[in-house]
Amino acid sequence: MKKIKCIVFDFGGVISKRQNIKYIKKICRILNIKLDEFQSLYTQKREDYDTGLIDAKTYWTKTVNLIGKQVSQTDFKKIIEYDVKSWLDINEETISYIQSIKDKSILALLSNMTFDTLQEIGNMYWLDYFQLKIFSCEKKVAKPNPRIYKICLEVLNMIPQQILFVDDSTENIMAAQKMGINTIKFTNCHEIREIIENEYIFIR
């Protein structure tokens, strides 16, 4: 059994469910693109938006320019709205589990998150379960860049072996592992609960 002092959770795909397909389809209809084109288009210019270096309008202008489309101001507003809403489908099972362990371990949130999404989740009750919150838009660096994991370690004031990191991204998990951090790739809440209960002990 490994001894840990802190569990660090990702947001998108862990605390929230995967990006809501209903809103993705709405964006695709506005842009007149096929659903299978969306992910590649969505991620190409995303890092500067996630790290707070550009705003939503600039990000979507750059993204739309990749496919040579013309989008009205009204449609830009709709795209930005649908983009934010697509990340707000909260996984209540994960929240319930986090609530059940919040008094046993230090809990932290480490997320690639835009200022627009952060504004929307800012008053959600479950944020209070986390003693520490690290957002890419505020730190100007995003996962899987090693710098954000170093920031996490500094903020927590812990060595990597004392931390367990839960994320749904293989790339983010591998980057954390290179730092010496324990990791679990999130698939569903039941599975991570089983792994944590069988392989880890909480210490103070």
Give the pLDDT confidence of 4-24 residue by residue, as tens digits.
Answer: 999 999 999 999 999 999 999
6 and 158 in contact (C-beta within 8 Å)? yes
DSSP secondary structure of 49-84: HHTTSS-HHHHHHHHHHHTT----HHHHHHHHHHHH
- The secondary structure of residue 168, as a DSSP letter, is S
pLDDT of residue 141: 98
Report the alpha-carbon distance of residue 7 to residue 103 in Å, rounded. 12
CA distance 145 to 26: 31
Domain residue limits, the chain: 2-17+90-202, 21-85
Q: What's residue 69's pLDDT?
A: 86
Q: How far apart are CA 152 and CA 139, in angstroms?
A: 10
pLDDT in tens, 47-106: 999 999 999 999 999 999 999 988 999 999 999 999 999 999 999 999 999 999 999 999
Residue 120 carries which side chain, given as an amino acid letter? E
CA distance 35 to 12: 20
- pLDDT confidence band for 204 (50 / 70 / 90): confident
pLDDT > 70: what percent of the chain?
Answer: 100
Rounded to whole angstroms, the maximal C-alpha distance in the chain is 57
Nearest residue to 202 via CA among 102, 97, 62, 56: 102
- The two three-digit tokens of residue 158, written as one number: 């812990």
The 8-class DSSP code of residue 150 comes to H
**CATH superfamily of the domain spanning 2-17+90-202:** HAD superfamily/HAD-like (3.40.50.1000)
What pLDDT is attached to residue 177?
98
Where b means 16+ CB within 10 Å and e means fewer, 145-163 reads beebbebbbeebebebebb
